[in-house]
A and B are shown apart, each in its own frame.
Chain A
Amino acid sequence: MLILKQSLFEQIQAHGARDYPNECCGALLGQDGGTDRTVLGLVPLANQRDDSPSNRFEITSEDVRLAEKTASDKGWELIGWYHSHPDSPARPSDFDREHAWPWYSYIIFRVEKAEPREMRSWRLNDDRTSYAEEGIEYIAGAPA
């Protein structure tokens, strides 16, 4: 289960609406408790795919290192990533799967005509052939 504060959920949605019709992306920082993990903060990042930003996103390794350091400085971990699918379902594409690692939580949410819609979270299975959906529990509260 991925535990997500309502205020962070709204920040992710707003990022997706703001960047529509392009994909938005960012890092999920928090604490991993094994079965359950809690998102405590976000690092919104720039989509580096200038060639096809409406159906592709990329976060550079330099931004990954920045997100890792931001998490570490707060005593947290980099536990996953979020990105939007403009006018497309909130489930991983084959392209997503080819570029994923297990363990990370991948939040994907649909943005329909600039309106954020359903949000789901996924984790890549160890054999890389499929994802398992990870439930999201929304809780009240402001960012830590």
Chain B
Amino acid sequence: MAVKVMIPTPLRQFAGKQESVNLEAGTVGDALNALTSQFGDLKKHLYSDDGRLRSFVNVYVNDEDIRYLQREKTAVQQGDTISIVPSIAGGAKA
């Protein structure tokens, strides 16, 4: 399926300065794998060292959060738009 992945502004510098990337994928996980294979410098900002999506990285298919679908196994349809949106967290030392 041809899908469009929207690249958030802070990460465009690692994706050829593109606002979006068109990819072939069957699931959200496939799409993110294809994206980070094409643009290797993106990977460390999306995934932690153990290979899991970072806790503050949220992914939407069209407007639906994949946490409420099948997460990275969520199937995508032709023409879907995948968005990567951070939640912002931090704080002083404990």
Tell me whether A and B are bound partners: yes
Chain A interface residues (CB < 8 Å from chain B): 23, 25, 49, 52, 55-61, 64-65, 77-78, 81, 83, 85-89, 92-96, 99-104, 106, 126-128
Contacting residues, chain A, for B73 (C-beta < 8 A)? none
Q: Is the CB of A126 within 8 A of B87?
A: no
Q: Is the CB of A61 within 8 A of B58?
A: yes
Contacting residues, chain B, for A106 (C-beta < 8 A)? 90
- Distance of A64 Cα from B60 Cα, bound (Å): 13
Contacting residues, chain A, for B91 (C-beta < 8 A)? 23, 49, 52, 55-57, 83, 85, 93, 95-96
Q: Is the CB of B9 within 8 A of A77?
A: yes
Task: Identify the closest chain A residue to B8 (Cβ).
Answer: A101
Contacting residues, chain B, for A49 (C-beta < 8 A)? 89, 91
Residue in B44, B54, B90 whose beta carbon sits within 8 Å of that of A95 in the complex: B90
- Could you tell me how many residues of chain B have their Cβ less than 8 Å away from some Cβ of chain A? 24
Q: Is the CB of B41 within 8 A of A126?
A: yes
Q: How far is the CB of B59 from chain A (nearest CB, A)?
A: 9
Q: Is the CB of A128 within 8 A of B45?
A: yes
Contacting residues, chain B, for A60 (C-beta < 8 A)? 87
Residue in A65, A81, A88 whose beta carbon sits within 8 Å of that of B92 in the complex: A88
Q: Is the CB of A56 within 8 A of B10?
A: no
Contacting residues, chain B, for A83 (C-beta < 8 A)? 90-91
- Distance of A58 Cα from B56 Cα, bound (Å): 9
Q: Is the CB of A103 within 8 A of B85?
A: no
Q: Is the CB of B88 within 8 A of A59?
A: yes
Residue of B14, B45, B90, B94 with most partner-chain A CB within 10 A: B90
Q: Is the CB of B87 within 8 A of A58?
A: yes
Q: Is B86 positioned at the interface, with any CB of A under 8 Å from its CB?
A: yes
Contacting residues, chain B, for A126 (C-beta < 8 A)? 14, 41
Residue of B41, B87, B91 with most partner-chain A CB within 10 A: B91
Known contacts A64-B85, A126-B41, A128-B45; is-contact A99 B10 (Cβ 8 Å): no
